[in-house]
Structures are given as C-alpha cells and as structure tokens.
C-alpha cells in the first residue's frame, strides 16, 4: 500500500476500505434523491483481497463501517460488493436493498478480511459485470497491485501480459458498448496505474491514485458524484447560504479522527451538536466524517464551527435545480469543452427563472487551483459557453456555479485530463513513438512534427492513430528536450497544439515530464524497446557491430580482470546484468580465465617456472574505457 498504509496507518487500511464502501453506498443513496431518473444505475464495488491488501482490522472501524452501510442505505437502491484475489466471490449480491439484504450486509466484514494469493483483475471485472441490470452499470474497482495469475494457468509473465492485453483490447471496448463504466481507485505506487487509467478511459470512468485516507474518501466522492449528480450550495470558510426553495440539506463534513466536535449554527443563532440537535435532524458521527441531514431548513446563512476538510460539501434537495449537458469524464490538452447549463423547476426547464443569474464554470486542478474559467452567456433561456483547453494533465474538477439574489447552486464533476497525443522515446530504435489519445484524431486529420536542437523532424504514420519521429544520433550524456507540434483539422477548423515536451535522455527524465508525455495508451502497452519490423535490419547491423567490438575487447578485459581479481569480476558481472551483450562477453571471459588457470596448472606440474610480472611489451596496466550503461528499460508497448 502507499506510505500511509505501510506506516502507522497500515493497520487501518482494510477497515478504512470497508468503511469507505459504506460511505460510497451511502453517498450513492443520498445523491440519488437529488435527481429524477427513469433507470437508476446500479453500483458494484469490487475489492482486491489479495495478500498485499491484508491489513489488521480494528473492530471499532469495522463496526462503524457496517453501521454506516446498513443504516444509511435507503430502500430501493441497487448495490453489491465483490471481492477477488485468485478467485472471485460475491459476499454481498447485487439486489434491491430490503430487510434481507441489510441482514447480509451485517455479516459482510469477514469476507473483506480474506487473504487470497494472486490478483485476477480480468475475471473480477467480468463476473461483476455479468450480473443482470436494468440500467447503466458502474463498477468501482479498488486494488493495490498488478495482474498476477497463478502459474498453474500457464507460463509467467506471458499469462499476466495476455490477461492485461485482453482487458484493454477486448473487455474494455465490450464494456463501453454494453453501458458498463469502470471507475478505478489505486492504493499503491506498485499498482498498474496505466492499466487502470486505460480501462477507465475506454469505458468513460474515472481513475485516481490515493495516498492517504482523505484522498481515498475524495476519490470515492468524485466517483459517486459522477454516478449520481447532485446540487450543492457553495461552502466557503465554513459558511453556506440556504435559499427559501430548499426542502432539505445534507452536510458531509470531513475531519481527522482526533479533531474536536463540529457545531452547526442556524441563521437565527441556534446551535446544534451531534449530541444535542432537533428531533427531525439526523447527525451521524464517524471517525473521519460527520453526516448531518436537516429537513425544512431556515433560509439564510448557516455556519460551521470546528475543523472541516476541503472536500466537505452541502448537498441540497429543492424543486429548483441546476442542470448541465453531459460532461465528459476525460478532457484533453488543446481541446475546449462546450458547456450548457439551465435551471429546472420540478424537472421542467424554467427559462423565466434564469433571469438575473450569473453562471460560471471553472476547471480546478488536483490542488484546487483554478486552471481555466469562463462566464456562461444567456441564450434562449439557457447558458452556454466554451471552456478554454486545460493546461496540465492529471485529476481535475469541473465546478459550475449559478448565483442570484435568492438562488445559490453548484455542481462538481471530477474529470481526468490527458494529453491529446501520447509520446514515448524508444532509444534503441532511435525514434519517438506517438499515439492519439483523443478519440477523433487520426492520420487523416493530424500532422505531427518535432523540433530538436533547432532542426525540424517530420513524423511518419505507422497506422491509423500512430506515428513515429526518426531521431538523429544523440549523445547519451546530454539531456535534450523534444518539442512536438500537432496540426489538427476537425469539423472544417484547423488548430495547432503544442504537446508536452519530451525529454530524450532517459537519465534526465523527471516525473512531471513522464506523466505529461506518455498517456495511458503507450503506458499500458508492453514493449521493452523491441524494434519494429522496419527497424530490424538496422538494429541487426548495430547488434553485429556491438558484438564484434565486445569480442575485440575481450583480451584486454581478460587481462584487466586477471590483475584486478575479484573486484574487477564483480564490476563485469554487474555490467552484464545491464547489457545482454556483455552477459555473453562475461561468460566468454570466464571461460578464457578458466582455460588459462587450467593451462597454467598443467604447466606448473611439468616444470617450475616463476610467473612473469608482466607480459612482454605490455608495459603498464591497460587503461579502461568508460562505458555508459544503457537506460533502464520500461515495460511498454506491445505495439
């Protein structure tokens, strides 16, 4: 797990997950009340219970999680829980919540404490998706590892790679056609994040990595607000305004386990606490959040006293609601986002109520900073505009607000921001591979070129959505940025998009460049710098030259090792691990040394002659030439 799971927080990991599942289902129910839908999507939570996820389970958090799950999930919501490791179980079957379903939920905890070997993500997704449904299926995958199938099923790592490939090339497109959305939450830096991102991207889901309990809750909240959009009122510095049309509000307030109590202050100054509140209010206290439901609230400004986290929010139920067009889950660098918003009264558009409203949209990055913003303009009773292109990749949020004299609403939708075109350097093939992430880009509407050290490089198409840039010879010791520009023509309009810079020297790569440049498609693929068919001849020639040069160097190496002894042999063994050609050379040197030792032994037996101090004409010990090690190879494309 991430560092908070490995340190003091390790003992809380599994239980926190159980508790979060309860929160997620609770939120699904809560948000479901705020919308009118003919076919409500069901929620299927899929939890990794492999050995790497094993954690101790403090009973107080388990009890809290089950109480949250059982007491707050309303009647009529469809939900279920699956677990997986080597095999897949369904301890909480998908079904309409009723008394029998609640009884099963009370017995759920032991199933989430399982410790199975291996990690079969493909089978878990297939089985969870197979349960019948009347609407969209939203699957929430929680895992901290990579695909790891038992060796009895075949040779490894081939069977793991094949399962990974089926997920991306077969299962994810099939899910997309069937209305199955996969949202993924990654718990560890060891997780196959590229795979999670790619599957979520293909199915229209969200993907995130969590590094703390707070980010885990935030990730779940983002997912469920995507599944069940809900109106909110802005919460600023612990204050929020309730207008006269609000029928009820729910305050979800995040905090640390040891934080003090929260006080809710009404517009008339009345104060409420968890242990002292009005009879018609519901106030649930959990270690990391409080959930307060207030029916028929007084209009005016309410206040919160006490510590509340930045992800806290106030959901409202009202006949007046803010609505938007379907917002994408994935945004792309260089591409604007068309936006439309309107006001509804009892589910019907209310153009007359849109007068004197200010409607804005903002894109917030993962730190909450505003990256782009726009004021939507009134048009035929609605508000419309185009949000400027995002500037950075990563997890972000779209925030839409409508403000008037007696009306305050906002909606928050999480999104993933990706490069429109992913780039990856293949040093051995001396090229940069490019692939379209944006679904509308291909070789017919996109031209690519690069700029390297003042020279322009034109990209050649390899397929419908793939290109490559051939690179000149590059000095390994120099860190060089490659700037790539895409000229795109869509819907009769042309645009020029500058892609994130790519650092060609692998030793000089830094994290932000790597995150921006690759994209989930290339990151998902596995190609350990394997040359393509068109590069085979050139690569073979280079390989032959390299092998000849190594063979020519063997006598000097053998003599150096003879003089250096064990330290020299250790260095050569280490180099052989990095370079397959030197692995072969090392074996040959060892053989030569053994032959020399045997020959000298036989010679010593036949006559006793002192060993020479130096070879005739050899002089001083031969100098050694420095050799730069090849860059560490990433597990990348099966192009």
- Give the pLDDT confidence of 379-406 residue by residue, as tens digits: 888 999 999 999 899 999 999 999 998 8
Contact 33, 228 (CB under 8 A): no
Q: Which of the listed CATH numbers 3.30.70, 1.10.10, 2.60.40, 1.10.3470 matches domain 232-317?
A: 2.60.40
Residue 399: phi, psi to the nearest 5? -120, 115
Confidence of residue 102 (pLDDT cuts 50, 70, 90): confident
pLDDT the model gives residue 614: 39
Instruction: Using pLDDT thresholds of 50, 70 and 90, give the confidence band for residue 184.
Output: very high
Mean pLDDT calculated for residue range 152-158: 92
Question: Quick one: average pLDDT of 274-298?
Answer: 92
Task: Tell me the C-alpha distance between 372 and 130, whole Å.
Answer: 40
Give the pLDDT score at 18: 54
Would you kindly state where each structural domain of the chain is located, as residue ranges? 3-227, 232-317, 320-418, 421-524, 540-606
Q: Is the pLDDT of residue 282 over 60?
A: yes
Check whether 69 has a pLDDT greater than 60: no
Task: List the beta bridge partners of residue 404.
Answer: 407
CA distance 411 to 323: 8
Q: Is the peptide bond before 157 cis (omega within 30 degrees of 0)?
A: yes
The answer to whether 509 and 343 are in contact (CB under 8 A) is: no
Q: How much is the pLDDT for 254? A: 87
Q: How many CB atoms lie within 10 A of CB 606?
A: 7
Which residue is associated with the tokens 């299962």? 171
* β-bridge pairing 455-458 and 466-470: unpaired
CB atoms within 10 A of CB 627: 11
- Same topology, domains 232-317 and 421-524? Answer is yes
> Is the distance from CB of 133 to CB of 178 less than 8 angstroms?
no
Separation CA 262–CA 406 (nearest Å): 27
Q: State pTM to two decimals.
A: 0.72
Which of 329, 338, 78 lies closest to 181, judged by CA? 329
Lowest mean pLDDT among 99-113, 127-141, 387-401: 99-113
**Which CATH class for the 421-524 domain?**
mainly beta
Most confident residue range from 257-261, 298-302, 595-599, 619-623: 298-302
Which residue in this structure is represented by tokens 């679904």? 439
Q: Which CATH superfamily is 3-227 part of?
A: von Willebrand factor, type A domain (3.40.50.410)
pLDDT score recorded for residue 123? 96
CA distances for 233 relative to 108, 239, 346, 498, 511, angstroms: 35, 10, 18, 37, 37
Per-residue pLDDT, averaged over 294-315, amounts to 94
What contacts 66, CB < 8 A, 6 or more positions away?
A: 18, 22, 105, 106, 108, 109
Distance CA 603, CA 583 (A): 30
What pLDDT was estimated at residue 515?
37
More confident residue, 504 or 203: 203
Provide mean pLDDT across the span 501-511.
Answer: 64
pLDDT band at 500 (very low <50, low <70, confident <90, very high): confident
Average pLDDT estimate for 441-457: 94
CATH of 320-418, one of 3.30.70.2610, 2.30.110.10, 3.40.50.300, 2.60.40.10: 2.60.40.10
Q: 478-498 pLDDT, tens per residue?
A: 888 899 999 999 999 999 999
User: Pick from 290, 295, 328, 335: which is nearest to 312 by CA?
Assistant: 290
Give the pLDDT of residue 266: 97
């Amino acid at each position: 797990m991430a560092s908070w799971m490995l340190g003091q927080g390790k003992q809380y990991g599994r239980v926190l997950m159980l508790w979060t599942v309860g929160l997620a289902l609770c939120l699904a129910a809560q948000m479901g009340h705020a919308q009118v839908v003919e076919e409500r999507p069901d929620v299927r939570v899929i939890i990794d219970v492999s050995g790497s996820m094993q954690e101790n389970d403090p009973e107080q958090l388990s009890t809290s999680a089950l109480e949250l799950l059982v007491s707050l999930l309303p009647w009529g919501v469809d939900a279920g829980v699956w677990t997986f490791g080597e095999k897949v179980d369904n301890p909480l079957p998908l079904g309409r919540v009723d008394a029998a379903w609640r009884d099963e939920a009370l017995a759920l905890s032991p199933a989430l404490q399982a410790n199975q070997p291996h990690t079969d993500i493909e089978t878990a997704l297939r089985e969870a998706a197979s349960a019948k449904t009347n609407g969209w299926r939203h699957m929430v995958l929680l895992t901290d590892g990579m695909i790891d199938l038992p060796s009895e099923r075949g040779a490894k790592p081939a069977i793991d790679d094949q399962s990974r490939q089926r997920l991306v090339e077969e299962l994810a497109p099939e899910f997309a056609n069937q209305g199955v959305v996969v949202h993924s939450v990654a718990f560890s830096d060891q997780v196959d994040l590229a795979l999670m991102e790619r599957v979520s991207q293909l199915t229209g889901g969200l993907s995130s990595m969590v590094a703390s309990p707070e980010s885990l809750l935030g990730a779940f909240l983002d997912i469920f607000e995507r599944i069940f959009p809900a109106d909110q009122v802005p919460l600023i510095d612990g204050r929020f305004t309730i207008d006269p049309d609000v029928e009820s509000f729910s305050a979800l307030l995040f905090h640390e386990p040891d934080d003090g109590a929260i006080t809710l202050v009404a517009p008339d100054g009345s104060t409420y606490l968890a242990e002292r509140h009005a009879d018609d209010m519901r106030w649930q206290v959990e270690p990391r959040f409080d959930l307060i439901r207030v029916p028929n609230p007084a209009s005016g400004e309410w206040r919160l006293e006490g510590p509340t986290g930045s992800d806290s929010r106030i959901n409202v139920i009202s006949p007046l609601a803010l609505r938007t067009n379907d917002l994408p889950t994935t945004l792309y660098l260089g591409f604007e986002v068309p936006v439309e918003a309107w006001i509804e009264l009892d589910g019907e558009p209310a153009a007359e109520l849109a007068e004197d409203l200010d409607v804005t949209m903002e894109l917030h990055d993962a730190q909450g900073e505003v990256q782009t913003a726009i004021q939507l303009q009134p048009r035929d009773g609605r508000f419309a505009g185009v949000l400027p292109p995002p500037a950075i990749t990563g997890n972000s949020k779209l925030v839409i607000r409508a403000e008037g004299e007696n009306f305050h609403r906002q909606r928050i939708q999480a999104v993933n921001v990706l490069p429109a075109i992913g780039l990856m350097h293949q040093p051995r093939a001396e090229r940069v591979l490019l692939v379209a992430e944006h679904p509308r880009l291909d070789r017919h509407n996109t031209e690519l070129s690069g700029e390297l050290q003042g020279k322009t490089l034109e990209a050649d198409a390899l397929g419908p959505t793939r290109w490559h840039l051939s690179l000149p010879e590059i000095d390994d010791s120099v860190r060089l940025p490659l700037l790539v520009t895409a000229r795109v023509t869509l819907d009769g309009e042309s645009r020029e998009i500058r892609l994130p810079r790519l650092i060609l020297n692998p030793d000089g790569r830094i994290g932000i460049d790597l995150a921006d440049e690759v994209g989930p498609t290339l990151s998902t693929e596995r190609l350990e710098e394997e040359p393509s068919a068109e590069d085979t001849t050139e690569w073979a020639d280079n390989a032959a030259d390299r092998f000849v040069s190594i063979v020519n160097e063997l006598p000097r190496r053998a003599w150096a090792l003879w003089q250096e002894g064990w330290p020299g042999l250790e260095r050569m063994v280490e180099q052989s691990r990095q370079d397959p050609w030197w692995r072969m050379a090392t074996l040959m040197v060892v053989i030569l040394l053994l032959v020399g030792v045997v020959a000298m032994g036989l010679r010593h037996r036949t006559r006793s002659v002192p060993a020479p101090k130096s070879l005739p004409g050899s002089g001083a010990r031969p100098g050694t030439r420095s050799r730069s090690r090849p860059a560490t190879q990433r597990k990348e494309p099966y192009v």
